[in-house]
Chains A and B, each alone.
Chain A
Amino acid sequence: MKKKKIASLSVRGFNRPVNFVFNIVIALFAISCVLPFLFVLAISLTKESALQQFGYSFWPREWSFYAYTFLFDQMKDKMLQSLFVTVLVTVLGTAINSTATSLYAYAISRNNFPFRRFFTIFCLITMLFSPGMIANYLVMTNLLQLKDTIWALILPMAVSPFNIIVMRTFFKRSVPDSIIESARIDGASELRIFTQIVLPLAVPGIATISLFAALGYWNDWFNALLYISNDKLIPLQYLLMKVQNNLQFLIQNAGAGSQIAGGLAALPGESARMAIVIISTLPIAISYPFFQRYFVKGLTIGGVKE
């Protein structure tokens, strides 16, 4: 009697035909998530004249790298400036965010800290509602006088109360009290305990909240919209916003002595705008799959009550 080979002994799972159908459904959705990005990429690589004549299309009717070379030659200064601002804000902001958040979370995770309850509630209240756009604007511009400075881009997102709670749960789980206690008995100061014992254990958690913070900073355009009018402080996403309707903004004050051959009409308007989109999004689009598991971990930890 021939033995039938069993592929797998899975208890869960659809039967074959249903599985196939759902695979198609999910696959279509997954493709729809990636398609627009590829679409914009294709537009950026299409010759401008073809775009004017035929409109956008998924596959370039005529290939051309002109949008990118144009940006590189003529608009390099402005784009590099924006890139610089975005990177600086992201790096500084993420550093400040993860430091402040971790320190606060560690403090309130310690059971013997008599002010633990106060600080925890102090933090929880901030998650209940938002003071409002106007109030924050007033404090920033009127009270702190930070309008049009780089701090206006960094400070609003410098601390995230939700992440504090996540980190607190994380500290409580991954750093047993006994280790801390024995270190204290051995005479270590709080700071030393934190840096030498707790921090190494907390690296995954810190990595996670840093990623969330970095993502927030990189994609932020709202703070620039509210506070920035100085050309030198325009982050990438806000630059994208400004050139959305036409390339005019980018062209003003373009690099010294740049003469665009053929005048305004020769500008690769459509393709160049899409090219800027690609340039600003490529770092994230390429790197996020590698950080995916940290995001998943961060989300699931935050969702579990302690």
Chain B
Amino acid sequence: MLELERASRHFGGVRAVDGLSLSVGEGEIVGLIGPNGSGKSTTVNLVTGLFPLTSGRILFRGADLAGVAVHRRLGFGIARTFQNIRLFGHLTVWQNLWVAQNAPEDRARRGFFARWLGGSAGVRREISELLEFAGLAARQDELAANLAFGEQRRLEVARALATRPKLLLLDEPAAGMNAEEVGQLRERILKLRVRGVTILLVEHVMELVMGVADRIVVLNFGQKIAEGTPAAIQADPVVRKAYLGGEAAG
């Protein structure tokens, strides 16, 4: 579904992502891990188009994404969440989902004026269904800025789902969560797979990645240093070295 072919992104002399080849198959959950600064978030920004590639290619279902504007990539079905939560704080919870309804399906179903200037009645049901999924139904009229941290993370996932993604890039969704919240997040990610959403999960919290990913890719200094099943990755000496220190992490 998603193919990175020797994708690189350099910032001046820094090779944030350096010749990374990576593929995510339809329906898969792929974990992307690595120490701080290893290029995980940059990879997400490359796939969603916030940064242009320095070299290499990114293909989505065979189509080259080079030159496709950020907002158009949603039309392909690529959605994301942010490591540092970026909600529309002065909009209410359900308005955050309302503004995200830009999928081709939504555009085809409702006319231009109904979609932009019509009321919310026609879309309320879909939105409540997403709020139900995120466990935010009771908070729908609250301003997003007033939500608790865990709720904000859930709302961000729900907002990404409102764009009807086929591929969802989750950038450290468990950061700052307690063990119970991580458990709930894990349940939600598994439910997403049942809905047919493919997931690229960038994460630091090992218990989450190891628990849900089919396959894990390990980055260090912008390069892939290992790839395999969770069990294989846990046993990999190269990965252990990158995480636990030694000359690579120094």
Asked if chains A and B come from one complex, the reply is: no
B-side residues, CB < 8 A to A, are: none
A-side residues, CB < 8 A to B, are: none
